[in-house]
Amino acid sequence: MELPEDAVGWFSQVDEVEVQWSDDRSKETGKSSRMEIRRQGGMVELVRSGHCPENVHYIDAAIETGKILAMLREDPNYLDLIEGVDPAPASAEMMTLASYVLNRQYDHIDTFEITSVSEEDFAVPFFRIATHGADYTVLGMGRGELATIYLLWRLDQLSNGGVVILEEPETHLAAISQRKLTEALAIISGDKDLTIIMSTHSPGVFESLPAGQVSLISSLPELSVSTGLDSRALASRLGLRRSLRCVAVTEDLFAAQMLEMILRRLDKSLLDCVGISFAADGESAVRTIVNGLRAYRTSGKVPHRIVGILDGDQRATEADVDGFSYLPGLQSPERVLESRLKAWLAGHEKFAFPTDVDAKLRAALVDAQGLDHHDWLICVAEHFNGTAVLLDALANFLFEDSIFVQQAYSLRSFLSSL
């Protein structure tokens, strides 16, 4: 199997990779299973031992489709290549996955498998597509669309079992399609019992994978492999900015700061990929923004999903609605904070603050006595140089309440599911 000369992926950076796994036969015999991938110049050598499967495949969809396009464009009579070749319709699963990953509904995907141009009788696909009333061929496809459909076609041809090595399969794809492609690969892996090993530099791919399934391979200053890194650490090591899962809109600035404090406490990695904003006119404005942009999001005109995070007082008056979740409590966040701190000051709630925070907090609560909840928050926050600093100082205190913790985790789960 030959690597293209212009390949820039991880295979061009390492000389040898060893993959080990166990199966039922290795357990019975006590023999280890091993596959080594050795690179010498532009060649990749697969060395198997033990009970490693024979069907090991290397796919670089971006490079391989680039060669297909170059071949067709250089041949003015390229249509002669498919003359007499019967097109094969894509399988139902391939159609479903292609539509999902590329965010369009395909009416049909037909493949003419050309063997006359390959010395090894390897089929070169010529795709004919119909979607949204448009008909076009491989030469009219975008590079991301072509690479994705080519990759799905290649995987669809494989028999069950074995190992597939993918070189940066997300190349040419938008961030949302990169995440969807990762999901599609997981489905294919499960359905066809494939072990998929892939290289990537994209947060859209690795941020959806468990930390134990991702390794960072570095070639400088010397070859090293780091494992067990979460997506936040991986992005930092690679110098990448993580892609946004969504934009969360709250009722006001303090609610936005409360949401940020909760995510920083529970999941810093999630905080990196959730944009937080707030509306000017409370919960009605949040609903208007989220519901108004939903149609645009469906059409692809809005790049990120917009969700509403309402104050806890909306939890008691409304059933769950798609696209909305709630801050902890059954009141607005400033009222939640006020009632908790007043209970603490009266001795009804026990918590030991650091000495400097304790003194500052007691002085602030005395100064704020008799004020309405909006003015109360402003007064208390002035002793801490702002509401964001105040929330950071009170984070451990707020998370002492079991109901607050339960509802905070529910909020985190909602955002993680997007």
> Of the candidates 267, 299, 331, which is a domain's last residue?
331
> Of the candidates 299, 331, 363, which is a domain's last residue?
331
pLDDT (0 to 100) of residue 138: 92
| Domain presence at residue 254 | yes
Do residues 373 and 305 share a domain? no
Buried-state track 345-384, b at ≥16 Cβ within 10 A, e below 16:
eeeeeeeebeeeeeebbeebbeebeeeeeeebbeebbebb
Do residues 272 and 298 share a domain? yes
| Domain presence at residue 312 | yes
Range of the domain at 271: 246-331
pLDDT (0 to 100) of residue 98: 94
Do residues 256 and 293 share a domain? yes
pLDDT (0 to 100) of residue 12: 45
Buried-state track 319-343, b at ≥16 Cβ within 10 A, e below 16:
eeeebbbbbbbebbbbbbbbebbee
| Domain presence at residue 269 | yes
Do residues 314 and 379 share a domain? no
Do residues 392 and 368 share a domain? yes
Do residues 262 and 315 share a domain? yes
| Domain presence at residue 256 | yes
Buried-state track 273-302, b at ≥16 Cβ within 10 A, e below 16:
bbebebbeebbebbbebbeebeeebeeeee
| Domain presence at residue 2 | no
> Of the candidates 301, 331, 361, which is a domain's last residue?
331
pLDDT (0 to 100) of residue 344: 94
Q: Which of 284, 258, 287, 281 is nearest to 271 (CA)?
A: 258
Q: How many domains does the chain have?
A: 2
Do residues 300 and 326 share a domain? yes
Q: CA 215 to CA 247: how far, in whole Å?
A: 29
| Domain presence at residue 189 | no
Do residues 338 and 395 share a domain? yes
Do residues 256 and 326 share a domain? yes
Q: What is the pLDDT of residues 347-396, one digit of tens each?
A: 999 999 999 999 999 999 999 998 988 899 999 999 999 999 999 999 99
Query: 0.75 cut: is pTM over it?
Result: no
Do residues 270 and 340 share a domain? no
pLDDT (0 to 100) of residue 292: 79
Do residues 280 and 348 share a domain? no
| Domain presence at residue 166 | no
| Domain presence at residue 10 | no
- pLDDT string in tens for the chain (418-residue length): 333 333 334 444 444 444 444 444 444 444 445 555 554 444 444 444 445 556 788 899 999 999 999 999 998 888 888 888 999 999 999 999 999 999 889 999 999 998 876 655 578 999 999 998 899 999 999 999 999 999 999 999 998 888 899 999 999 988 788 888 988 998 999 999 888 888 888 777 777 777 667 778 777 777 777 877 776 677 777 766 666 778 999 999 999 999 999 999 998 878 888 889 999 788 889 988 888 776 665 555 555 688 999 999 888 665 556 789 999 999 999 999 999 999 999 999 999 999 999 999 999 999 999 898 889 999 999 999 999 999 999 999 999 999 999 999 999 999 988 7
Do residues 313 and 258 share a domain? yes
